[in-house]
Protein backbone atom coordinates (compact mmCIF):
# COMPACT_ATOMS: atom_id res chain seq x y z
CA UNK A 1 0.00 0.00 0.00
CA UNK A 2 1.41 3.38 -1.06
CA UNK A 3 2.11 5.94 1.69
CA UNK A 4 -0.50 8.69 2.15
CA UNK A 5 0.31 12.01 0.53
CA UNK A 6 0.46 13.83 3.87
CA UNK A 7 3.07 11.35 5.16
CA UNK A 8 5.11 11.82 1.98
CA UNK A 9 4.95 15.60 2.27
CA UNK A 10 5.86 15.77 5.96
CA UNK A 11 8.73 13.29 5.44
CA UNK A 12 10.17 14.94 2.32
CA UNK A 13 10.20 18.48 3.72
CA UNK A 14 12.93 17.59 6.28
CA UNK A 15 14.96 16.02 3.48
CA UNK A 16 14.89 19.27 1.52
CA UNK A 17 15.63 21.44 4.54
CA UNK A 18 18.33 19.14 5.94
CA UNK A 19 19.78 19.04 2.45
CA UNK A 20 20.37 22.77 2.68
CA UNK A 21 21.28 23.13 6.38
CA UNK A 22 24.75 21.49 6.00
CA UNK A 23 25.61 24.08 3.35
CA UNK A 24 24.99 26.87 5.84
CA UNK A 25 26.83 24.96 8.57
CA UNK A 26 29.85 24.37 6.33
CA UNK A 27 30.07 28.12 5.76
CA UNK A 28 29.99 28.60 9.51
CA UNK A 29 32.76 26.04 10.00
CA UNK A 30 34.85 27.66 7.28
CA UNK A 31 34.43 31.03 9.02
CA UNK A 32 36.00 29.62 12.19
CA UNK A 33 33.15 27.83 13.94
CA UNK A 34 33.36 24.52 15.83
CA UNK A 35 31.11 21.47 16.08
CA UNK A 36 30.31 22.11 19.76
CA UNK A 37 29.41 25.73 19.04
CA UNK A 38 27.26 24.75 16.06
CA UNK A 39 25.41 22.09 18.03
CA UNK A 40 24.66 24.46 20.92
CA UNK A 41 23.56 27.39 18.78
CA UNK A 42 21.30 25.25 16.58
CA UNK A 43 19.56 23.62 19.55
CA UNK A 44 19.29 26.92 21.44
CA UNK A 45 17.62 28.59 18.47
CA UNK A 46 15.14 25.83 17.66
CA UNK A 47 14.31 25.33 21.36
CA UNK A 48 13.51 29.03 21.68
CA UNK A 49 11.24 28.82 18.63
CA UNK A 50 9.39 25.77 19.99
CA UNK A 51 8.90 27.19 23.51
CA UNK A 52 7.59 30.45 22.10
CA UNK A 53 5.11 28.56 19.92
CA UNK A 54 4.02 26.36 22.84
CA UNK A 55 3.38 29.28 25.19
CA UNK A 56 1.36 31.04 22.50
CA UNK A 57 -0.72 27.96 21.67
CA UNK A 58 -1.12 26.50 25.17
CA UNK A 59 -2.07 29.67 27.08
CA UNK A 60 1.01 29.64 29.31
CA UNK A 61 0.74 25.95 30.26
CA UNK A 62 2.90 24.31 27.56
CA UNK A 63 3.36 20.81 29.01
CA UNK A 64 -0.14 20.29 30.41
CA UNK A 65 -1.20 16.66 30.59
CA UNK A 66 2.26 15.14 30.13
CA UNK A 67 3.42 12.57 32.70
CA UNK A 68 7.03 12.15 33.86
CA UNK A 69 7.18 8.99 31.71
CA UNK A 70 6.17 10.92 28.60
CA UNK A 71 8.70 13.64 29.33
CA UNK A 72 11.36 10.99 29.90
CA UNK A 73 10.72 9.27 26.57
CA UNK A 74 11.21 12.42 24.52
CA UNK A 75 14.05 13.65 26.73
CA UNK A 76 15.92 10.40 26.08
CA UNK A 77 15.32 10.81 22.33
CA UNK A 78 16.74 14.32 22.56
CA UNK A 79 19.83 13.33 24.52
CA UNK A 80 20.72 10.50 22.14
CA UNK A 81 19.18 11.44 18.82
CA UNK A 82 19.95 15.15 19.01
CA UNK A 83 22.86 15.82 21.41
CA UNK A 84 25.11 12.95 20.31
CA UNK A 85 23.82 12.99 16.74
CA UNK A 86 24.47 16.66 16.12
CA UNK A 87 27.90 16.66 17.71
CA UNK A 88 28.82 13.84 15.32
CA UNK A 89 27.14 15.42 12.31
CA UNK A 90 28.80 18.85 12.71
CA UNK A 91 32.17 17.18 13.22
CA UNK A 92 31.49 15.24 10.04
CA UNK A 93 30.64 18.42 8.11
CA UNK A 94 33.94 19.90 9.26
CA UNK A 95 36.01 16.78 8.49
CA UNK A 96 34.59 15.40 5.24
CA UNK A 97 32.42 18.22 3.89
CA UNK A 98 28.68 18.81 3.64
CA UNK A 99 28.01 16.58 0.63
CA UNK A 100 29.89 13.49 1.85
CA UNK A 101 28.69 13.91 5.43
CA UNK A 102 25.04 14.21 4.41
CA UNK A 103 25.28 11.05 2.34
CA UNK A 104 26.91 9.19 5.22
CA UNK A 105 24.24 10.32 7.69
CA UNK A 106 21.59 9.00 5.33
CA UNK A 107 22.59 5.44 6.10
CA UNK A 108 20.20 6.05 9.01
CA UNK A 109 17.38 3.91 7.50
CA UNK A 110 19.67 0.89 7.80
CA UNK A 111 19.72 1.30 11.58
CA UNK A 112 16.24 2.78 12.03
CA UNK A 113 14.53 -0.03 10.12
CA UNK A 114 16.33 -2.69 12.14
CA UNK A 115 15.38 -1.01 15.42
CA UNK A 116 11.78 -0.53 14.27
CA UNK A 117 11.51 -4.24 13.46
CA UNK A 118 12.95 -5.38 16.80
CA UNK A 119 11.31 -2.82 19.08
CA UNK A 120 8.15 -1.64 17.31
CA UNK A 121 7.33 -4.87 15.51
CA UNK A 122 7.22 -3.31 12.04
CA UNK A 123 7.35 -5.68 9.07
CA UNK A 124 10.44 -6.19 6.89
CA UNK A 125 9.83 -6.94 3.22
CA UNK A 126 12.19 -8.13 0.51
CA UNK A 127 12.16 -4.57 -0.85
CA UNK A 128 13.41 -3.31 2.52
CA UNK A 129 16.32 -5.75 2.48
CA UNK A 130 17.15 -4.88 -1.14
CA UNK A 131 17.01 -1.17 -0.37
CA UNK A 132 19.34 -1.58 2.59
CA UNK A 133 21.88 -3.43 0.43
CA UNK A 134 21.81 -0.66 -2.18
CA UNK A 135 22.16 1.92 0.59
CA UNK A 136 25.24 0.17 2.00
CA UNK A 137 26.72 -0.04 -1.50
CA UNK A 138 26.30 3.72 -1.76
CA UNK A 139 28.28 4.21 1.44
CA UNK A 140 31.09 2.04 0.06
CA UNK A 141 31.19 4.09 -3.15
CA UNK A 142 31.21 7.25 -1.08
CA UNK A 143 34.16 5.99 0.97
CA UNK A 144 36.13 5.43 -2.22
CA UNK A 145 35.19 8.78 -3.78
CA UNK A 146 37.77 11.55 -3.97
CA UNK A 147 35.44 14.41 -3.13
CA UNK A 148 34.09 16.41 -0.23
CA UNK A 149 36.23 18.88 1.71
CA UNK A 150 38.95 20.27 -0.55
CA UNK A 151 41.58 19.88 2.18
CA UNK A 152 41.10 16.10 2.02
CA UNK A 153 39.87 13.51 4.51
CA UNK A 154 40.55 9.98 5.68
CA UNK A 155 38.12 7.08 5.32
CA UNK A 156 37.98 6.75 9.10
CA UNK A 157 36.42 10.24 9.15
CA UNK A 158 33.26 8.60 7.76
CA UNK A 159 32.76 7.18 11.24
CA UNK A 160 31.39 10.58 12.29
CA UNK A 161 28.43 10.68 9.86
CA UNK A 162 27.77 6.97 10.42
CA UNK A 163 27.80 7.50 14.21
CA UNK A 164 25.37 10.39 13.68
CA UNK A 165 23.18 8.06 11.61
CA UNK A 166 23.09 5.53 14.47
CA UNK A 167 22.20 8.22 17.02
CA UNK A 168 19.50 9.72 14.79
CA UNK A 169 18.06 6.24 14.15
CA UNK A 170 17.74 5.52 17.88
CA UNK A 171 16.16 8.94 18.40
CA UNK A 172 13.66 8.47 15.57
CA UNK A 173 12.49 5.07 16.78
CA UNK A 174 12.08 6.36 20.35
CA UNK A 175 10.16 9.36 19.03
CA UNK A 176 7.84 7.12 17.02
CA UNK A 177 7.27 4.99 20.13
CA UNK A 178 6.49 8.08 22.20
CA UNK A 179 4.14 9.60 19.64
CA UNK A 180 2.25 6.29 19.36
CA UNK A 181 1.96 5.55 23.10
CA UNK A 182 1.69 8.92 24.84
CA UNK A 183 -0.74 11.86 24.59
CA UNK A 184 2.01 14.34 23.66
CA UNK A 185 1.34 16.57 20.67
CA UNK A 186 3.94 16.92 17.95
CA UNK A 187 4.96 20.37 19.21
CA UNK A 188 5.20 19.23 22.85
CA UNK A 189 7.28 16.21 21.84
CA UNK A 190 9.76 18.17 19.75
CA UNK A 191 10.06 20.87 22.44
CA UNK A 192 10.94 18.36 25.16
CA UNK A 193 13.31 16.61 22.74
CA UNK A 194 15.24 19.78 21.93
CA UNK A 195 15.26 21.08 25.50
CA UNK A 196 16.84 17.83 26.71
CA UNK A 197 19.34 18.09 23.87
CA UNK A 198 20.21 21.63 24.92
CA UNK A 199 20.82 20.50 28.51
CA UNK A 200 22.97 17.61 27.26
CA UNK A 201 25.05 19.78 24.95
CA UNK A 202 25.51 22.48 27.59
CA UNK A 203 26.61 19.81 30.05
CA UNK A 204 29.13 18.51 27.52
CA UNK A 205 30.51 22.01 26.92
CA UNK A 206 30.90 22.61 30.65
CA UNK A 207 32.44 19.19 31.37
CA UNK A 208 34.86 19.50 28.46
CA UNK A 209 35.67 23.11 29.41
CA UNK A 210 34.65 24.22 25.92
CA UNK A 211 34.64 27.95 26.61
CA UNK A 212 35.55 28.47 22.95
CA UNK A 213 31.85 28.13 22.06
CA UNK A 214 31.41 31.69 23.35
CA UNK A 215 34.53 33.09 21.72
CA UNK A 216 34.10 32.38 18.01
CA UNK A 217 33.97 34.93 15.17
CA UNK A 218 30.67 36.79 15.35
CA UNK A 219 29.46 35.83 11.88
CA UNK A 220 29.69 32.11 12.71
CA UNK A 221 26.81 32.52 15.17
CA UNK A 222 24.70 33.94 12.36
CA UNK A 223 25.33 30.93 10.14
CA UNK A 224 24.43 28.49 12.90
CA UNK A 225 21.35 30.50 13.92
CA UNK A 226 20.09 30.19 10.34
CA UNK A 227 20.81 26.46 10.49
CA UNK A 228 18.88 26.27 13.76
CA UNK A 229 15.84 27.97 12.23
CA UNK A 230 15.90 25.56 9.29
CA UNK A 231 16.25 22.65 11.70
CA UNK A 232 13.29 23.84 13.77
CA UNK A 233 10.95 23.57 10.78
CA UNK A 234 12.49 20.31 9.57
CA UNK A 235 12.31 18.57 12.93
CA UNK A 236 8.72 19.62 13.56
CA UNK A 237 7.78 18.24 10.15
CA UNK A 238 9.63 15.00 10.88
CA UNK A 239 7.79 14.53 14.19
CA UNK A 240 4.48 15.12 12.41
CA UNK A 241 5.43 12.52 9.78
CA UNK A 242 6.19 9.98 12.52
CA UNK A 243 2.80 10.68 14.09
CA UNK A 244 1.15 9.76 10.78
CA UNK A 245 3.26 6.97 9.29
CA UNK A 246 5.66 4.09 10.10
CA UNK A 247 9.40 4.50 10.67
CA UNK A 248 10.17 2.24 7.69
CA UNK A 249 8.48 4.78 5.39
CA UNK A 250 9.25 8.12 7.04
CA UNK A 251 12.92 7.57 7.88
CA UNK A 252 14.05 6.53 4.37
CA UNK A 253 12.17 9.45 2.80
CA UNK A 254 13.80 11.91 5.20
CA UNK A 255 17.06 10.15 4.35
CA UNK A 256 17.01 11.47 0.79
CA UNK A 257 18.64 14.69 2.06
CA UNK A 258 22.03 13.94 0.39
CA UNK A 259 20.42 14.30 -3.03
CA UNK A 260 19.63 17.92 -2.18
CA UNK A 261 22.91 18.52 -0.34
CA UNK A 262 24.93 17.32 -3.32
CA UNK A 263 23.08 19.69 -5.63
CA UNK A 264 23.37 22.63 -3.23
CA UNK A 265 27.07 21.92 -2.56
CA UNK A 266 27.89 21.75 -6.27
CA UNK A 267 26.37 25.20 -6.74
CA UNK A 268 27.06 27.00 -3.46
CA UNK A 269 30.27 25.46 -2.06
CA UNK A 270 32.55 25.44 -5.09
CA UNK A 271 35.29 27.17 -3.10
CA UNK A 272 35.13 24.68 -0.21
CA UNK A 273 34.15 21.30 -1.63
CA UNK A 274 34.85 19.07 -4.58
CA UNK A 275 31.70 17.27 -5.68
CA UNK A 276 33.11 14.43 -7.78
CA UNK A 277 31.32 11.76 -9.78
CA UNK A 278 32.03 9.35 -6.95
CA UNK A 279 30.28 11.59 -4.45
CA UNK A 280 27.29 11.95 -6.77
CA UNK A 281 27.17 8.19 -7.42
CA UNK A 282 27.43 7.34 -3.72
CA UNK A 283 24.74 9.85 -2.78
CA UNK A 284 22.51 8.61 -5.60
CA UNK A 285 22.83 4.97 -4.49
CA UNK A 286 21.97 5.90 -0.91
CA UNK A 287 18.91 7.82 -2.10
CA UNK A 288 17.87 4.97 -4.41
CA UNK A 289 18.25 2.51 -1.54
CA UNK A 290 16.05 4.69 0.66
CA UNK A 291 13.54 4.98 -2.17
CA UNK A 292 13.38 1.21 -2.69
CA UNK A 293 12.72 0.69 1.01
CA UNK A 294 9.88 3.18 0.78
CA UNK A 295 8.23 2.55 -2.57
CA UNK A 296 8.03 -1.20 -3.03
In-domain check, residue 62: no
**Which helix (DSSP H) or strand (DSSP E) does residue 273 occupy?**
strand 273-274
Provide the domain count of the chain: 1
**Residue 279 belongs to some domain of the structure:** yes
Q: Would residue 246 count as lying in a domain?
A: yes
Q: Is 106 helix (H, G, I), strand (E, B) or coil?
A: coil
**Closest Cα to residue 286, out of 109, 53, 37?**
109
The pLDDT score that the predictor gives to residue 153 is 66
Cα(152)–Cα(37) distance, rounded to whole angstroms? 23
Task: Give the per-residue pLDDT at 120.
Answer: 72
The enclosing H or E element of 282 equals helix 277-295
- Residues of the chain falling short of pLDDT 70: 1-3, 59-60, 98-99, 103, 123-124, 139-140, 142-153, 210, 212, 273-274, 290-291, 293-296
pLDDT confidence of residue 145: 62
- Burial class of residue 93, CB neighbours in 10 A (0-12, 13-18, 19+): buried
In which domain, by residue range, is 237 found? 5-57+67-295
Residue 179 lies in a domain: yes
Burial (0-12, 13-18, 19+ Cβ within 10 Å), 261: buried
Amino acid sequence: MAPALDVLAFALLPALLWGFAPIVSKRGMAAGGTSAQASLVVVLVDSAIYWTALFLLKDGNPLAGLSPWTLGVFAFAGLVGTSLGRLAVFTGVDRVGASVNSAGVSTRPLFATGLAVVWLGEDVTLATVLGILVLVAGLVVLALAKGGDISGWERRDLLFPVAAACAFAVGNVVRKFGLDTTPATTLQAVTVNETAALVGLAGYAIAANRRDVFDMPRRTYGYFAISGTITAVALLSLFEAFSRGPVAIVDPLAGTAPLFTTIFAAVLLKDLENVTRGVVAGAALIVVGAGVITAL
